[in-house]
């Protein structure tokens, strides 16, 4: 399937291993890091070289391949043990995005399959990691179609938060995939993007993606979102997710919950686009989703530049939970769940694509 607005890839596997586009440096610099060990990839995930739930899972899957290559000289049992240790290290990099654990589980199952032996291990693992990435891109294309179909023909402008784009996935994006598809279909003419304090994913990454694609994008401080909605400037809020609980509660970048409340108050629709690898049916409600706390230094400044007064403390949860009752639609590669409930989520997850 060839798509318009689909030129960005943040994760690539080459003959000599894994390359990650360094998202800490965008948009000022376009630099790729070449990483050859799983602990190096775990650090890259923690440090936000690669970020966004599906992208974290894909990078971790390729890191397991790197581990299989690195430990090639060991005898088979010792090699498997080292790879399993690396899987644990990767799983400790960030806690909220369930795609990380989902992808590592897939790699582990593959590692422990009876088809695998010392000779074919690297190839089998590489095939699995490649499949995870390729299926993610296909899922994004599907979500793009389903999500765009929910928008009225003259939807005008939409608002998004953080970066749920090509950079956050195997390519094309979840929320930004829906927006790309809706723009291609002529349904929207403008995207508003929250700058997304403190890490500025909106200002640095989402705006970069849209400017690169020639899709009109307007940045705002998230504090301006209420006024934007009050003035009737957007018809939908469209966001991604790091983990969706069994009852449809949605964890996403801090500030998403405020947008959902604002959207409800102003009669603006609220859509979450996420592949089924983001749905965690083992977590009953949003209250059980582990929320990452990040360093106070992110709040004290902007990038390297210190802004806050010395002596203050900071509270820096990276994610919040939007209750299912505030969500108009969850869109996955399987279709649309309107006004999610446990029963609807269970039915959706039991369906074949
Ligand atoms: O801290 P980040 O940048 O990894 O947070 C990313 C988000 O919150 C995204 O919205 C989410 O992972 C969905 S990405 C398709």
- At 106-162, the pLDDT tens digits run 999 999 998 999 999 999 999 999 999 999 999 999 999 999 999 999 999 999 999
Average pLDDT, the chain: 97
pLDDT band, residue 287 (cuts 50/70/90): very high
Percent of the chain residues past pLDDT 90, beyond the cut = 97
Query: Average pLDDT, stretch 278-299?
Result: 98
pLDDT for res 63: 98
Residue range 177-208, pLDDT digits in tens? 999 999 999 999 999 999 999 999 999 999 99
- CATH architecture observed for domain 11-138: Up-down Bundle (1.20)
d(CA 42, CA 189): 39
Q: What is the DSSP letter of 343?
A: H
Give the nearest ligand 1 atom to 278 CA. Answer: 13
Q: Is the predicted pLDDT of residue 1 greater than 60, yes or no?
A: no
CATH, domain range 145-350? 3.40.50.10470
Residue range 210-219, pLDDT digits in tens? 999 999 999 9
Mutate to test the pocket of ligand 1, among 8, 11, 97 (most ligand atoms within 8 A of CB): 97
Residue ranges, CATH 3.40.50.10470, the chain: 145-350
pLDDT for res 78: 97
Report the separation in Å between the CA atom of 240 and the middle of ligand 1, taken as the mean of its atom positions: 7
Report the separation in Å between the CA atom of 322 and the middle of ligand 1, taken as the mean of its atom positions: 14
Report the separation in Å between the CA atom of 337 and the middle of ligand 1, taken as the mean of its atom positions: 21
Report the separation in Å between the CA atom of 164 and the middle of ligand 1, taken as the mean of its atom positions: 6
Q: Is the predicted pLDDT of residue 3 greater than 90, yes or no?
A: no
Predicted TM-score (pTM) of this structure: 0.98
Give the nearest ligand 1 atom to 292 CA. Answer: 1
* Nearest in space to 48 (alpha carbons), one of 27, 22, 30: 22
Give the nearest ligand 1 atom to 175 CA. Answer: 15
Catalytic residue numbers, as ranges: 242
Please state whether the peptide bond connecting residue 27 to the residue before it is cis, i.e. omega within 30 degrees of 0.
yes
* Nearest in space to 25 (alpha carbons), one of 217, 209, 204: 204
Residue ranges, CATH 1.20.120.420, the chain: 11-138
pLDDT for res 304: 86
Going by DSSP bridges, is the β-strand pair 156-160/236-239 parallel, antiparallel, or unpaired? parallel
pLDDT for res 82: 98
Q: Is the CB of 318 under 6 A from ligand 1?
A: yes
d(CA 170, CA 167): 8
Residue range 299-336, pLDDT digits in tens? 999 988 999 999 999 999 999 999 999 999 999 999 99
Q: Is the dihedral of CA 131, 132, 137, 143 positive or negative?
A: positive
């Amino acid at each position: 399937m060839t798509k318009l607005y689909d030129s960005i890839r943040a994760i690539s596997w080459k003959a000599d291993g894994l390359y990650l586009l360094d998202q800490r440096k965008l948009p000022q610099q376009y630099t790729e890091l070449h990483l050859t060990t799983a602990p190096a990839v775990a650090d890259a995930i923690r440090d936000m070289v690669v970020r966004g739930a599906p992208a974290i899972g894909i990078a971790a899957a390729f890191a397991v391949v790197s581990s299989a290559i690195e430990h090639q000289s060991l005898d088979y049992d010792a090699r498997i043990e080292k790879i399993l240790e690396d899987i644990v290290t990767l799983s400790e990099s960030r806690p909220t995005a369930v795609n990380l654990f989902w992808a590592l589980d897939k790699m582990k199952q593959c590692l422990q399959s009876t088809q695998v032996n010392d000779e074919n291990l690297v190839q089998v693992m590489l095939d699995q990691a490649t499949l995870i990435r390729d299926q993610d891109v296909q899922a994004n294309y599907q979500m793009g179609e389903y999500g765009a179909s929910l928008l009225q023909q003259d939807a005008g402008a939409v608002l998004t938060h953080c970066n749920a784009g090509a950079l956050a996935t195997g390519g094309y994006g979840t929320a930004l995939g829906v927006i790309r598809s809706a723009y291609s279909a002529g349904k929207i003419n403008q995207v508003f993007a929250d700058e997304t304090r403190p890490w500025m994913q909106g200002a640095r990454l989402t705006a970069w993606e849209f400017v690169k694609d020639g899709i009109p994008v307007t940045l705002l401080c998230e504090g301006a979102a209420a006024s934007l909605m009050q003035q009737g400037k957007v018809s939908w809020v469209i966001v991604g997710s790091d983990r969706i609980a069994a009852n449809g509660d949605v964890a996403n970048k801090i500030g998403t919950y405020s947008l959902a409340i604002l959207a409800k108050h102003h009669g603006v629709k609220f859509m979450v686009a996420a592949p089924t690898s983001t749905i965690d049916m083992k977590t009953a409600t949003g209250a059980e989703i582990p929320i990452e706390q990040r360093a106070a230094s992110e709040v004290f400044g902007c990038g390297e530049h210190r802004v806050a007064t010395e002596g203050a403390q900071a509270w820096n949860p990276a994610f919040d939970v939007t209750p299912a009752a505030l969500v108009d639609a969850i869109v996955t590669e399987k279709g649309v769940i309107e006004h999610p409930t446990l029963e609807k989520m269970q039915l959706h997850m039991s369906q074949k694509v």
